[in-house]
Each structure stands twice: as C-alpha cells, then as structure tokens.
C-alpha cells in the first residue's frame, strides 16, 4: 500500500496547482469516516450515520485542508508573511503551515474568546498573535484591509485556495462511501466550509464519481445564527467559540448552496450542542470540540425529516482537545478528588 501523500498530491488533478508549486504539507487529509450507531439509533429509523472526523488532521481541525493549499500558493507567489483573523483553528493551521513554509504568520484573535488549546498551538508554532478588543467579524474586517496595504497574504477563507483545499473532504467521503451521502450536516460559522464541501461534491458529480448530490444541512449556534435569522448579528454569543460569528464572509455562497442542494439552515442552542458533545464522547468514544458537535446536535433536532434508508454524514470539524476547559466544565462524569492513597479508600470511592 502506498502511504498517504497529503491531499494536494492525492487530488492534484482536481486542484489549481502545477508541477512548480512548492507543496507545503503535513500530510493532512485522509481522515476517518466513522460510523456512529448510538446516534443512528436515536434517529429511530433505518439510517446510516457517519462522522467525518476532521479533528484528526495535523493541527486538529479541517483548516489544515485549506491551509496546505493557501500556504503553498502563497509560497509560490513569493509571500514572506501571511495574516488571518481567527476564532482559533485558522490561526493554529496558518501558524503551522506558514512556519513550515518559512513565512511569518500574523494572527488576529478576539481577546478572551479563543479556546486554550488553539492559543497554545498558535504560540508554540511561532505565530505573532495579536488579540484585539473586538470579535471575529471585526478582526476579519481589519485583516482584509491590512492585506490590501501591507505585504501580507490573507489566508482566511476569502482566499479562494482555502476552499479549493477544503473541498477535498467531500472527495474523501465519496471515495469511501462510493457515492454521496443523502445528507451532509455541517457546523457553519464564516460559511467557508459548507461552500467548499458543495464545490467538492459538484466537481466529483461532474466527472462521474457520484450520481447525485447531497442535501446540505448547515447548523449555527442559536446566539450566532445570522444565516438562520437572515441578518447579521452584531454581538454573536455562544459557548462554541469557533463559530461565534455574526457576519459570515461567505454569506451569499452559503445561501446559494442551500438552495441548489435543497438544504437548510437551522440553529442549535448551546444546551443542544453540549448534549451532542457529551453523547459523541461518552457513547461513541469521539471527542470533538463544541462547535463541531453542532452538526450532530442539528441532525438530532431535525431527525424526523431524515428519510428512511438514508445515509447521513456529520462533519466533526475540530478535535475536542482544542478546548479542555469546556470539556472539564461540562462533562457529566464524576471526578472524585482528594482520595487517600490506600486501596480501601479507592475501593470505597468506587462504591465497593
Ligand atoms: N468548526 C470549527 C471547529 C471551526 O473552527 C470553524 C471555523 C467552523 C466549524 C466553521 O467553519 O467558518 O467555514 O463556516 N473557524 C474559523 C477559525 C472561523 O477562525 O478558526 P466555517
């Protein structure tokens, strides 16, 4: 068996790269499509449910797919520095790939609203981290402006190469299932990823790799659901900080995906997110971050609409280790501390 060469090499024929593009890769992609029977059972009919666990990418999120492309193309163009706004994952991926490609990485984050693991990554990978007194939407406005006047390449998902890389997740799903799923459930923040998946499914459909297209079901956190409300949210709030976004950059594209796929947008409350987050971990053994659990929370919310016999894929965008604080604060597990270091004391604490 050939080792996995990274997604640019694997899907080179479908990506805007040439033989001279310097490929900056950490061998991202090829993430598992895992059956989740406990979730399928809750839907209560004959359905197959899988999660696309993109938290197993090199920096722990789907952003690596976009970043291998964006950074390779930036390097090809001779960039010396890149910049992004981020709720955390983009900054970690930008930092890792930029540094690997020998570039500086500037990242703007909303002060106090980035999960601990993501901040740790950006710092250790060697990014220059700038926390602003404002939210993600404001940070994105600033970096868009800066990329026009300063020698820095923007690597947010408004950079088209990001979406090109991210569309490969759809290829991988079709390659494994042999066709498209009936439904694709996905968390939506800045709305780049839902756009990228649709690009991937459409491209594969055009070349005959699948014979149909999925319904694209996008889920936003209730306190940060501009696409559901149909208007920007000036002060988005949710415990799922990765998708704490009030004015998505790919708004129109996501709306077009919704109509073309006969899909829908729904909002899920933080409580629904937490319930799905705990369920995935405690019954399926899969630790994702809260924003990722929005896809499963959403599926469970609209479960009565899933056709019998359907195949559903929920995208788990990020690894649970990104946000240890939320895991510790919201687990339902018992954590008994201060037990005497004696067998009888441990046995007593176990209830024997
Ligand atoms: N899930 C996770 C874990 C994310 O980090 C993001 C976005 C999304 C879902 C939403 O994807 O923006 O393409 O709709 N995170 C960005 C960041 C905003 O800065 O890391 P989207």
**Mind listing the pLDDT tens digit for each residue in 131-186?**
999 999 999 999 999 999 999 999 999 999 999 999 999 999 999 999 999 999 99
pLDDT of residue 19: 97
Residue 351 pLDDT:
95
- 88 within ligand 1 shell (Cβ under 6 A): yes
8 Å CB contact between 61 and 319: yes
Percentage of residues of the chain with pLDDT beyond 70: 100
User: pLDDT averaged over the chain?
Assistant: 98
Q: Please state the ipTM of this predicted complex.
A: 0.99
Residue 304 C-alpha to ligand 1 middle, in angstroms?
A: 27
| Digit-coded pLDDT (tens) for 27-65 | 999 999 999 999 999 998 899 999 999 999 999 999 999
Helix 251-260, helix 192-206: angle, nearest 10: 40
pLDDT attached to residue 212: 97
Q: Determine the average pLDDT of the residues in 213-242.
A: 98
Nearest of 201, 199, 197, 200 to residue 213 by alpha carbon: 201
pLDDT interval class at 127 (50, 70, 90): very high
Q: Parallel, antiparallel, or unpaired: how do β-strands 215-221 and 264-268 relate?
A: parallel
Report the binding-site residues for pyridoxal 5'-phosphate.
89, 189-193, 317
Say if pTM beats, i.e. exceeds, 0.90.
Answer: yes
Residues 317/54, Cβ–Cβ less than 8 Å: yes
How many Å apart are CA 105 and CA 95, to the nearest integer? 5
Q: Tell me what pLDDT residue 2 has.
A: 83
Share of the chain above pLDDT 90, in %: 99
Distance from the alpha carbon of residue 242 to the mean position of ligand 1, in angstroms? 5
Tell me the pairing of strands 48-53 and 33-35: antiparallel
- Token pair 């940070």 is at which residue? 139
The answer to whether the CB of 247 is under 6 A from ligand 1 is no
Q: Provide the pLDDT confidence category of residue 292 given band limits of 50, 70 and 90.
A: very high
Q: Which of 57, 242, 322 to mutate to test the pocket of ligand 1 (most atoms within 8 A of CB)?
A: 242
Alpha-carbon span 95 to 82, nearest angstrom? 9
Is residue 286 pLDDT above 90, yes or no?
yes
Determine if ligand 1 sits within 6 Å of the CB of residue 87. Answer: yes
The number of the ligand 1 atom at minimal distance from the alpha carbon of 118 is 20
Ligand 1 centroid to residue 308 C-alpha, Å: 31
Ligand 1 pocket test, candidate residues 317, 321, 322, most atoms within 8 A of CB? 317
Query: Is residue 243 in contact with ligand 1, taking CB distance under 6 Å?
Result: yes
Residue ranges of the binding site? 89, 189-193, 317
pLDDT for residue 45 = 87
Distance 86 CA to ligand 1 centre (A): 8
Give yes or no for residue 242 CB within 6 A of ligand 1.
yes
Looking at the predicted structure, is the pLDDT value of residue 196 above 90?
yes
Model pLDDT, residue 1: 78
Entry field: residues in the chain: 352
pLDDT of residue 165: 99
Using CA atoms, how far apart are residues 108 and 129, in angstroms rounded to an integer? 6
């Amino acid at each position: 068996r050939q080792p996995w060469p990274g997604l640019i090499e694997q899907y080179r024929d479908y990506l805007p790269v040439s033989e001279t593009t310097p490929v900056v890769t950490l061998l991202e992609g090829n993430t598992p499509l895992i059956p989740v029977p406990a979730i399928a059972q809750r839907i209560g009919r004959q359905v197959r449910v899988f999660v696309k666990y993109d938290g197993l990418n090199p920096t722990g999120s789907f952003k690596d797919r976009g970043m291998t492309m964006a950074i390779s193309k930036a390097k090809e163009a001779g960039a010396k520095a890149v910049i992004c706004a981020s709720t955390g994952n983009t900054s970690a991926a930008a930092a890792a790939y930029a540094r690997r490609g020998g570039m500086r990485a500037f990242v703007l984050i909303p002060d106090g609203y980035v999960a601990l693991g993501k901040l740790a990554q950006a710092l250790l990978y060697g990014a220059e981290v700038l926390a602003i007194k404002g939210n993600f939407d404001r940070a994105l406005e600033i970096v868009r402006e800066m990329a026009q006047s300063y020698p820095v390449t923007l690597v947010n998902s408004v950079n088209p190469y990001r979406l090109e890389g991210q569309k490969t997740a759809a290829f991988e799903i079709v390659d494994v299932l042999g066709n498209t799923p009936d439904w694709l459930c996905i968390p939506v923040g800045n709305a780049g990823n839902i756009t990228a998946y649709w690009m991937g499914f459409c491209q594969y459909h055009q070349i005959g790799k699948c014979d149909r297209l999925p319904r694209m079901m996008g889920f936003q956190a209730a306190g940060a659901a501009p696409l559901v409300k149909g208007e920007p949210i000036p002060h988005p709030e949710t415990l799922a900080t990765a998708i704490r976004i009030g004015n998505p950059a790919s708004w129109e594209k996501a709306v077009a995906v919704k109509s073309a796929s006969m899909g829908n947008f729904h909002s899920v409350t933080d409580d629904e997110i937490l319930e799905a987050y705990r369920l995935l971990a405690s019954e399926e053994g899969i630790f994702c971050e809260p924003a990722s659990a929005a896809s499963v929370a959403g599926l469970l919310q609209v479960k009565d609409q899933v056709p019998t016999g359907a195949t559903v894929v929920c995208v788990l965008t990020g690894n649970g280790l990104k946000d240890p604080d939320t895991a510790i604060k919201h687990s339902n597990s018992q954590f008994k501390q201060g037990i005497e270091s004696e067998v009888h004391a441990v046995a007593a604490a176990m209830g024997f």
